[in-house]
Amino acid sequence: MSTAKYIFVTGGVTSSLGKGIISASLAKLLQARGYRVTIQKFDPYINVDPGTLNPYEHGECYVTNDGAETDLDLGHYERFLNVPTSQANNVTTGRIYQTVINKEREGAYLGKTVQIIPHITDEIKRRMVLLGDSGDFDIIITEIGGTVGDIESLPYIETVRQLKWELGSSCMVIHLTLVPFLAAAGELKTKPTQHSVKALLELGVQPDILVCRTEHSLNADLRRKIALFCNVNVNAVIESIDASTIYDVPILMYKEQLDKVVLAKLKLALQHEPELEHWKAFLGKLKNPVNEVRIGLVGKYIELKDAYKSIAEAFIHAGVANECRVKVEWIHSDKLGEDSIESKFSGLHGVLVAPGFGDRGIEGKIAAIKYVRENNIPFFGICLGMQCAMIEFGRNVLGWKDAHSTEMNPETKHPVIHMMEDQKSVTRKGGTMRLGEYSCNLAKGSKVAAIYGKTKIGERHRHRFEFNSKFLEAYENAGMIAAGINPDLNLVEIVELKNHPWFIGVQYHPEYKSTVETPHPLFVKFVRAALDKSRELAK
């Protein structure tokens, strides 16, 4: 039996209260006290993973080293803890049912009727304790997606009830609720919290700690009232006040002593005070930038910024590394025509063209790249952004007017981006892309080799198409260099333009690896190039 401790985080009243950030912040504090902590997320939807979801549904799909397509909260976990997650850290109802149904087809249930309790809940339980059983962690924090009261969450809450019973003091529940401020009454209201805890109690789960999301400070009376109605100690009523940045939340939770209350409940030693010097230094620089750069982010899901969560966070990390505020200008690729390019891009210090799928917005991305290439504005292309850079170069420098990706134009005579060989036989959509970490050799003397400070790297991928090496010679002769090559398949993973201050396209997703502790070197140097550009424009 493992000695790991389990913390479950549930949400009540409404969605979007920031369970992921609270979980990551608590994990950060426990880690800073010397514990080995990981976080996992259980999502109640039927999709086997979020890989098939449109970003408008739940935002970005985050990819782990082992190639799992996961919920964007896993990105927060990695960015806060600086510890990689894996497939085991994200489980959905679809995956649970798929496992149970496959076992049923194999005859593993020996003629029994297969039911939600105990078969589905047993499978949930097995996965909930999996990382604890590995022996790699002292504390496992499990975030349950959705809101208490949702029909879909019921089997998860039931499993938490069972585990609380089985694990006793090795297990606890934190419930996150909202304490709204009613402007007309001029008051904070505790009733939704009381109701939400009642909903949890009806399912047999008594929360140990309440984290109350609020716009205004909770006074002692209010805390006492919540404690009284919800059967928790007053010190277990934790205020989670709106913060100007998510990176403030660990500090706010420390002030509220969330980590201390948690450790006391789990009967674990406080060890030492949390070592947060690096974190605080990061926050100090984040809040007191010396410079500012304006970077355009061109994408087609601009209405929903969560679609580019890891990129936005990587810019924050890179900004801090340069003591500079990165002001991201969100530019809709759908709405870009030749006529609007100049006005939108002329004052920018750098432009990033985002990853994506499908035809929509593609010409806007290509037009944007033409402008930044010709005007020496630093350019960073990620995945589809890199592919668009190759299309643009093919059309406007090499003169192949029909250059395209076969994803958008299967008939083109110049398929400069084409489907990867082993993708051609793929018929199923879910989990079938080239996913996860692959190695890449950097060309000696290239910009990227200098940026990474080494010649062998590993980065995470999520794509089906790639640069068509048949055209490489023509590109290199015209100044577009293959600066990174996958050693096993000889794929072009990085391109850079010779006669340009900073023009780099990568087939992988560097944003997934950027954390508070280790900002990604490509983002750091891209922001530095943008800073140089801003100084040049100011002259």
Residues labelled as active-site residues:
383, 509, 511
Smallest gap from residue 126 Cβ to ligand GLN (A): 32
C-alpha closest to that of 365 among 355, 375, 377, 350: 355
* Closest CB to ligand GLN among residues 299, 319: 299
Give the nearer residue to ligand GLN in terms of CB position, either 140 or 302: 302
Minimum CB separation from ligand GLN for residue 111, in Å? 45
Q: In this complex, which beta carbon is closest to ligand GLN, that of residue 274 or of residue 356?
A: 356
Rounded to 5°, the CA angle 328-61-160 comes to 120
The residue among 225, 221, 242 whose CA lies nearest residue 178 is 242
Where do runs of H (alpha helix) occur along 168-210? 191-202
Q: How far apart are CB 446 and ligand GLN at their closest, in Å?
A: 22
Minimal distance in Å, beta carbon 204 to ligand GLN? 43
Nearer to ligand GLN by Cβ, of 246 and 472: the residue is 472
Q: How far is the CB of 360 from ligand GLN (least distance, A)?
A: 12
Task: Region of 168 please: left (phi>0), alpha (psi -120 to 50) or beta.
Answer: left
Token pair 């929360």 in the structure block, residue: 207
* Residue for token pair 């087609």: 300
Rounded CA separation 74/285 (Å):
25
Residues near ligand GLN (CB under 6 A) are 355-357, 383-384, 407, 462-465
C-alpha R_g of the chain = 25
Distance separating alpha carbons of residues 497 and 482, to the nearest angstrom: 9
Question: 6 or 301, CB closer to ligand GLN?
Answer: 301
The three-class DSSP label of residue 441 is strand
Instruction: Supply the minimum distance, in Å, between the C-beta of residue 344 and ligand GLN.
Output: 22
Structure tokens at 478: 């015209």
Beta strands at 291-299 and 324-332: parallel, antiparallel or unpaired: parallel
Burial class (CB in 10 A: 0-12, 13-18, 19+), 36: middle
Cα torsion through 518, 521, 526, 528, rounded to 10? 70
| 306 vs 338 by CB, closer to ligand GLN | 306
Q: For residue 256, what is the enclosing H or E element?
A: none
CB of 351 to ligand GLN, least distance (A): 16
**Cα 213 from Cα 472, distance rounded (Å):** 54
Nearest residue (CB) to ligand GLN, 76 versus 463: 463
Torsion 245-246-250-252 (CA) sign: positive
